[in-house]
Structures are given as C-alpha cells and as structure tokens.
Structure 1
C-alpha cells in the first residue's frame, strides 16, 4: 500500500502586513508558508494584514508550497474576524490549506473553531494546526493531539512555540535546549499518538546558520517533521536536515524490494547483509522512500 507524504521540512513565517514579503514567498523553496496575522503584526495593522492575506490567497501563485494563515489567539478581539475571513475565502475556493491557531490550551478550542469553520461554509479540506506554546498546552499536549480523532477539529499538526514557553516558564533557550528537551519529546510523542504532524519551534538568531543547523539536526533526531522559520536564509539548511540522505533512501528501497519478493511475502523477519530486519523496518523504509519521492516531485 502506498504512503502519501507531504513534506513539511521548512515552514516559513511571513508577516501578513508586508505585501513585498508575501510576493517573495511565492519564489522561496520552503515547503510551507505561514502568513502571520499574530506576532508579526502590530495591533493597529491587524485589519490591513487580514485583508492582504486574503488578497494574496485569492491571487495564488504559491505553486507546491502549502499555504497556512496564523490567526490571532482565540481570546483576542481579532480572532472572530480572522476566522470568518478565512472561512469565506475557503468557501470561495481561495482559502489557505490550513489555519494555525496560536496559544491553544485545550481540545475544546479546536472543536469550537472547527465547527465555526463548518458553519461558515469553509471547504472540508481546510485543516487546523495548533500552536503549543504555554505550560498548560505542553501538559495537555496528548489531549490536544488526540482531538484529531474527532473530525470536527480538522487537526493536522502541532507547532511548538519555545519563545512563549521561555517567557511563561523562565526556562532559558540555550544551545542544545536541555531545559526544554523533555517538553519537546513529550509533544512529539503526543503528536504521534494523535496521528498528526509536529513541527519544531523557530530559531531566533537567523545570522547563526551553524547553530541553526545543529538545532535542525536535533529536531530531526527527536522525530519532528520539520521546523518553523523566521528568515529565508534558514530554508536550505532546514530542508537538508529534514530530507533523508541519498544512502538512506537507497537502503530503504533495497529493504522494501527484499520484503516484496514472493518468497518473503509471509515472513516477519528476513536477513540482509548479515542483519536480521523485521517487517516494521520495511514500513519505516516505505515512509522514507515516500518522503524522498515527494521531495523530488517538488522539483
């Protein structure tokens, strides 16, 4: 059975109030673009950003890039207008592919948002992403991720926000992120239990690409699907970190071919190059190959 994978290695935030940035987003090699109506937009520019985001969506031209819009938080005075505008755009076939809601602290907020989108006529394909950026969100990450089992939530991904977590807890963001390592792993486990994607937080010092590359490697080792970004210079090293190496892909193809041989059809374990490998390793290999093929298809 084929595995459908959509690469989300690099997910770049772009301010919705910056028309030039939105135009540039159409040319960047990021897997996904997040048009931001929240942190990157001053309070007096919220309406402008919302209008420009909807206009950019209507114009299209983003190619294979997944387009997401981050709304303001559900408890702000801008959230309802954000959601309504995106729902209308979606109903007209010119909406984003997902709506990222910041500061999610409970699954109930996702249920309510999902039902609101449905009531406003949003396309069934419109997904919700949830930002995990408060202490209660980390503690309830499993409940939030499991909300994906309820189709009403439309939940497809968790996105970590370590800047807000640092602010709320006093934990420092240091190289290696030891103070937060258990939180990161906990959220990866929660996402996998809920069957959703999980994206690592941004790296603030966009001039330090060496440090950024190390953090990308750590995130990939922890099991994240990709990383959120704040600057175009971060895209290439991020894509490299979350792309399976060619040798790994070649080995995966060989393992799949071995298990696909008629004589191995009923076997749970086979031998390859002096090692015993289980069928679950073939399942992992299929996802590796599917990801590599999806990346190659992007061109």
Structure 2
C-alpha cells in the first residue's frame, strides 16, 4: 500500500532504546509507529539506541508504517542517526524542529530517497509551513504541540484556542501540497474522554490522525479518525444518487433533503477508500 493510501489514524511513539517495547509494538493495532531516537532516549543511550532499533527493524511490522525520528542535525547525534537510519530503510525519517525547507535539504543529502516527515513545533516552522510542505521529498507533517506551546508560552485549554492558528497554518500547508498531517499528543494518557474530545476536534479540522504516547490511547484514535458506519452508508447513497441523476441528464441529486454535487461525490469516494484501506490493514 503506498503512503498516500495508508491510514494514519493512530501514530504511536515508541522509544528506540527499549527492546521489549519495540517487540510489543509489532502486535499493536496502530496504523503507524514513530520509532524515537530523540526525546524518548536518554543521552547515555543515544548511540546504543541506533543499534537496538536497527536490529528491531529487521523484524516484520506488518502493515504498520515505520517512521524513525532522529535527533536534530544541529545536535551531536543527528548526523550519525541519519546515516544509520538510511541503512535501516524504514518507510520514512522524521526530523524534529523543522523551521525551514533548508532543514529538510540537509537531511535529504544524507538519507537519499527516503521519504521525509517534519516535526512542526517552532514559531518559525509555523510561518514557513507552506514552503516546508512543498519540499519535494516531504510526505508528512507531525504537530509537536508540547514544544510549540513552550515556544509560544501558551497555556493549555481543552478547546486548544491558543494553538488554533498554528494548527490551521500547518493544515492549510499540508492540504495544499498533498501531505499527510497528524495532530499532536494528548498528555493525560489515562483521560480517555479528554483524548476523545481532542481527537474529535482534530478530525473535524481535517487531520489524518493523532500521535499517541501510550497504547491505551490507540482504540479511541482508531475509532474517531475512521469513517463511521453512518458516514460510509451516506457516502454509498450519495454516489448512487448522483450516478442516477447523471443518467437522467441532471447535474445534482438530492439525498436526505440535501443537494449532492460532484464535489460531494469526490468526498464520498475518499471516505469509502479510507474505509477500505482500514479493512485491508485489519485483515493483515
């Protein structure tokens, strides 16, 4: 399944230095895994984590997208991380604190043809989001809302009002350039209702999924970011009604008292394609 067709409802961070966690992740019902060499790995373990992760990635992770987050290239470990990851051949490499497209250029020199993902977690990154998303090797954006809140000196609110400008700028950039984009983490991993609320907000805004910090968060993210049965049924009826209208020489149809035009049919087909991709992943 190519990167664009894959769902990214649930994207779980796993420390690259923990063999047991790396093994357990092979059986988790996540769409993607971020194997972390950055924040989740202590300074003392930075070098050994590369070897631990390289060994783990020789195993089969099934349909799960495998993304490796390296340390920044401005750190003592970033270049060696990038060189090691290019030999591991994951599905993508994730660069933290991307503030300009030149950051991705520097990484691509090392990682070659590997697809790149960018952590969006700095004010300058927000302002340069369109140029970052337009990078020819970029496949996805990840919102780093914890670091961004620190940089913005903003306070946490359940409605995330202080974060809306940043989220919106990155969403616009991702949609304009055909990139995947996943929302930031929800820190209170035992608060399933709070997680659900933030997932629903992200889904309604247009995010493809959510980054997660604990396996207990997977089921909620998978449920919220998947098309509901009602949405699937409506999509099928819209497609059928529009096809019938076209056969009768009309440009619009009516379903449940609402006008259905070609743009609604495009969305309906996308919903069915996403549901089909999720089904295929579940079957694997």
Mark yes or no: TM-score above 0.5: yes
State which of 149, 156, 164 in structure 2 corresponds to 1:181: 164
Aligned length: 279
Supply the distance in 2 between the matched residues of 1:99 and 1:232 (Cα, whole angstroms): 22
Partner of 2:92: 98
Please state how far the C-alpha of 1:272 moved relative to its aligned partner: 3.0
Between 199-208 and 255-264, the greater mean CA deviation after superposition: 255-264
Listed one character per residue, the Cα deviations across residues 80-133 of structure 1 (whole Å, up to 9, x for unaligned) are 1111111122xxxxx210111100000111123223222xxxxx4x31110000
The 5 A counterparts of 1:144-159 are 144-147=132-135, 150=136, 154-159=137-142
- Give the deviation of 1:194 after TM superposition: 1.4
C-alpha distance in structure 2 between counterparts of 1:274 and 1:214, whole Å: 29
Structure 2 residue 228 is the aligned partner of structure 1 residue 240: no
Once the two structures are TM-superposed, the CA of residue 261 in structure 1 deviates from its matched residue by: 4.4
2:145 match: 162
For residue 29 of structure 1, what is the aligned residue in structure 2? 29
SS in 2 for 1:298: helix
**2:268 matched residue in structure 1:** 285
2:40 match: 40
3-state SS of the aligned residue for 1:130? strand
Residue of structure 2 in register with 1:65 after alignment: 64
Match of 1:133 among 121, 144, 164: 121
Structure 1 regions of 5+ residues with no counterpart?
A: 90-94, 119-123
CA distance in 1 between counterparts of 2:54 and 2:156 reads 34
In 2: Cα distance, 1:271 partner to 1:34 partner: 43
SS in 2 for 1:8: coil
Unaligned runs of 5+ in 2: none
Distance 1:66 1:103, change over 3 A: same
Q: What's the CA shift string for 1:209-229, capped at 9, x where partnerless?
A: 111111111110111000000
Q: Which moved more, 1:214-223 or 1:174-183?
A: 174-183
Indicate the residue corresponding to 2:55 in structure 1.
55
Measured in 2, the distance between the counterparts of 1:267 and 1:44 equals 68
- Give the Cα–Cα distance (whole angstroms) in 2 for the partners of residues 78 and 266 of structure 1: 64
Q: Deviations over 1:129-151 (max 9, x none)?
A: 1000011111111111122xx3x
Task: Tell me the CA shift for residue 269 of structure 1.
Answer: 2.4
Post-superposition offset of 1:37: 0.1
Deviations 1:227-283 (A, max 9, x none): 000000000001011011001111101222333448449754223343221101100
Q: Distance in 2 between matches of 1:219 and 1:239?
A: 13
Is 1:210–2:193 an aligned residue pair? Answer: yes
Q: Give the secondary-structure state (helix, strand or coil) at the position aligned to 1:211.
A: helix
